[in-house]
Structure 1
């Protein structure tokens, strides 16, 4: 509970408090339609200029993105509307609302440091980032449950969980409104259920299938996990057919619902809306198949989207993989296959970069699974009493946390808009050959803190972004080292049996 509440508070502290990416604006519009009219179509705003929506078979406009986050957001929006009747956003008790970017004049007012003109639609859009605040904290909790099953020492599970929650892109993404946090949470839930299926009724696989199907309905690329999760479910010789039936039933229910959703809108269970209008495909460059070479480099080492640069904690996972493979050979092979398939598949898409977003957005779902190998490695180091290895792990974790603090303090969406406008004024197309995502001269790694501030609740603090980053980093580092010393001492000699072998 302390872990969950701590993650919840820190996520709330850095939440943007508004909708920045255009994809999330479309997702919110569907949530609003569901809550207000019980309808699946959206009305849109003039600022969109058509991105992310497509005409359905009835002529109405529908989102092209998965509906999972929109449906999950409805209770939050209903709750927030009730709270908004009090006019809390005009009370002055909290900083002025951050404008959501895709309402008239909103982006211009945000970059000028001004609050919105009409507060009501912006106050309602808080529902989406607040949903991610909760979802991100739940993701940390589920990761801790997984880590606890793979470790004997509680400190190992806790240490890697803190690294995941604060030292990877999971933290800054919990502050925005993208669908990745919810899709990641549902994948983690499915994985955790699959890990304990041998000690649980086979019906547990029904819930795992439902969770995995929900992830696919939230972000369609979650389907890449299906063959590997299915292999995990069917391992062993006992009750294989029964296990498969339960998993398929849960997954099938969600896929049937998703197919029906597509059929109602576009007349085909396979059509998400991305290809119903060839003109929209050409205008907005929806993902097309390309050679993977640029994407492979871009997703791993590029200045704007490299996973190893924006979430270097995964490098520790690669370092720890041999230990993981020796102890959990099947899990190791399964996760390695899932990682390679996702990396190569995303690299073959022309939109591998994920647009205006922080780092490799399309790989965010993979990050917790790349950190799992660290758990048995750290478990061994605790058992050996290797002070040097523990100090190195703690120091590396704090450095990773410091980097993510910078990503939380800065605001990548308006940053990319400023880059686009700067080069457009010089007659330069910065999108040509994906320069905006590949060149170091425009990399958020170097210049993000020189742009606007991201967190809504910290927006009025009278310090610059660099000072705020330093203060937050120093505070979190101090808390980390104090907590680490206490946890290691309390857990000395304590152990729990690992939940999965082989």
Structure 2
């Protein structure tokens, strides 16, 4: 590194970006993540802020359109990545218009998280710590705290972390240099923090108080007021601009510059009052500090050292220590004042992720204390425990765990989940017919880059020599970053359908492992997860699922019977598909050209029914690219044989892209029912739906496994 003169900061970024790319998910799994993505998509595709309603996301606003309730900060950063993904999708087309775009947008959090590591490294230096200490603190933060698992998904916690940390770094640099450009940097970061999540405006007064303290220590009493006013103006100007933008965004969505300002379709004051009314602060404090499921110290073990570091830091750097302590306390108060203090089903204490750097940086005072050796063993131990905890979170999916087990995740539960092979990775897959593990070639490149940059950082920490950057060193770092992006395109983006199949095969193997351990409910859901993504073991997965959940053996309807009557326009197609089908007779396929929001329906032949009898309708359905205004639907219609006393029963509504999934509905016919019809349709949307192996028969007495 000395000869090449690559800046240590560049190596820090490359190291952590490689690590975080290795464990990124590439799949949106939560509704609020999807909302922000849909807004970015709509901005690029149509120049609009509204997005199409989905089966689960349909909050109405101005003009009856569907809008996101969330702030705009995360979405703005996703827009250029979506545009890049759209361009790459034209080079490497996939059956689903969102697969590549979602994957590319998924690069945002690894990038932001690596930048947060870089800013933490720089902040440690700005606070006066040696380079060796700064590198150690960065390694602890980036590898042994909750920051790593949150780098893999689509939540805004990495953005909140980066902007809060950058605001602090800007203020520290201003104190050192008195250069007003650092005030502008700090103001931009603080403004964007609030632009991304309005509630974090609560930290701004503490930042201003610190800024006032810095000015007061610098200028004579007569000049303090004017200098503080000037500094506040520079700092608050970007925040004001972002506030105005957010107000316009609120008005465009919900007709008011206030409603929608704070990530909710309610006036912010009313929202705060409502949250406080349902809060359970004692329960929250106990849960965050003492119970295992959302324990701050358990999910980031090294932060325990801050309890010993803060008193010493207050004595040495009182202003900075009190600033950190104030922000930590106000953030914790805000979380425990919420009824949903636990952050839902996400990994660990989600709402406290952004203060993690503030809990790590003070540890530097212990590392540089007069007796550093006494802290070495505890620090190494906590780092090791933290590393193991983060590996569990980084290589498995908390959402998969919730969906598969119907339980909330925890460290112990996630470990149990992972031991059955429930990997969630773009780089590592289980392979039943070859070596137990396969690794994507891009993963090997990432390990190589991480290894080289990590080795250089270790050498730098041993010498504790600050390397002056050269143009050659910066160019080499930029080339390394470019190589990573090119490798990602070559080995992940271009063959992405094969990558998804490899992930689906991993889920299939995990399902086999769970079923072999008599965990049939989890195994069955894991088979469905494999089918949803796509797997080369499709027939085996369906067979094993139906062994666990047997259906009625009679009442099978041939595809020709399902499409006895069709209703469609020129832009739609209803036909028998032998290629995608599960059965030799073929599947019913309904397809509508993209961007055409129309309806196409296939109606079965009339099926004689017995009045007041128990029936069950079941089958398998697959969808692709259903992104119009509505969705695909399977509906049962019954009447008295003369179109009288009708009843429609919706069996299911389906949209977007999903592999083969089962549907089943048990019902009792009306006292007047004489016949039934099955309707399969694309309703006011576009895309393709397949239905196969449909059965309508008297309900079976067979009792399948009962799952929660």
Q: TM-score category by the smaller chain? A: 0.7 to 0.9
C-alpha contact (below 8 Å) 2:171/2:186 kept by paired residues: yes
Q: Does the alignment pair 1:57 with 2:67?
A: no
Q: Deviations over 1:374-413 (max 9, x none)?
A: 12221336xx6x4453354334323322221121111111
Q: Deviations over 1:418-458 (max 9, x none)?
A: 232xxxxxxxxx6xxxxx47xx7984465455473122222
C-alpha contact (below 8 Å) 1:287/1:351 kept by paired residues: no
Distance (whole Å) between structure 1 residues aligned to residue 253 and residue 151 of structure 2 = 30
Q: Does the alignment pair 1:229 with 2:238?
A: no
Q: 1:70 aligns with which of 75, 83, 91?
A: 75
Q: Does the alignment pair 1:29 with 2:29?
A: no
TM-score, reference length from structure 1: 0.78
SS in 2 for 1:136: helix
Tell me what 2:383 maps to: 397
Tell me what 1:419 maps to: 405
C-alpha contact (below 8 Å) 1:411/1:451 kept by paired residues: no
How far the C-alpha of 1:5 sits from its partner, in A, is 0.7
Distance (whole Å) between structure 2 residues aligned to residue 253 and residue 267 of structure 1 = 20
Tell me what 2:538 maps to: none
SS in 2 for 1:318: helix
Tell me what 1:345 maps to: 334
SS in 2 for 1:171: helix
Q: Where does the alignment leave 5 or more consecutive residues of structure 1 unmatched?
A: 90-117, 421-429, 431-435, 466-473, 497-502
Tell me what 1:500 maps to: none
Tell me what 2:426 maps to: 456
Tell me what 2:229 maps to: 241
Tell me what 1:81 maps to: 86
Between Structure 1 and Structure 2, the one with more strand by share is 2
C-alpha change, 1:368 and 1:125, in structure 2 (3 Å) is same
Q: 2:264 aligns with which of 262, 274, 281?
A: 274
How far the C-alpha of 1:135 sits from its partner, in A, is 1.0
C-alpha contact (below 8 Å) 2:302/2:379 kept by paired residues: no
C-alpha change, 1:441 and 1:366, in structure 2 (3 Å) is closer
How far the C-alpha of 1:39 sits from its partner, in A, is 0.9
SS in 2 for 1:394: helix
Further displaced range: 5-14 or 297-306: 297-306
C-alpha contact (below 8 Å) 1:41/1:61 kept by paired residues: yes
SS in 1 for 2:106: helix
How far the C-alpha of 1:32 sits from its partner, in A, is 0.3
Tell me what 1:360 maps to: 349
C-alpha contact (below 8 Å) 1:412/1:448 kept by paired residues: no
C-alpha change, 1:25 and 1:313, in structure 2 (3 Å) is same
C-alpha contact (below 8 Å) 2:276/2:337 kept by paired residues: no
Mapping of residues 128-139 of structure 1, within 5 Å: 128-139=105-116
Tell me what 2:480 maps to: none
Tell me what 2:179 maps to: 201
How far the C-alpha of 1:463 sits from its partner, in A, is 4.1
Tell me what 2:98 maps to: 121
C-alpha change, 1:449 and 1:252, in structure 2 (3 Å) is farther
Q: How many residues align?
A: 431
Distance (whole Å) between structure 2 residues aligned to residue 205 and residue 30 of structure 1 = 31
Distance (whole Å) between structure 2 residues aligned to residue 60 and residue 188 of structure 1 = 36
C-alpha contact (below 8 Å) 1:31/1:71 kept by paired residues: yes
Q: Whose radius of gyration is greater, 1 or 2?
A: 2
Q: Does the alignment pair 1:178 with 2:171?
A: no
Q: Does the alignment pair 1:329 with 2:313?
A: no
How far the C-alpha of 1:309 sits from its partner, in A, is 1.1
How far the C-alpha of 1:182 sits from its partner, in A, is 1.1
Q: 2:48 aligns with which of 39, 48, 51?
A: 39
Between Structure 1 and Structure 2, the one with more helix by share is 1
Q: Where does the alignment leave 5 or more consecutive residues of structure 2 unmatched?
A: 1-9, 220-226, 439-446, 469-708
Distance (whole Å) between structure 2 residues aligned to residue 495 and residue 394 of structure 1 = 27
TM-score, reference length from structure 2: 0.56
Tell me what 1:264 maps to: 252
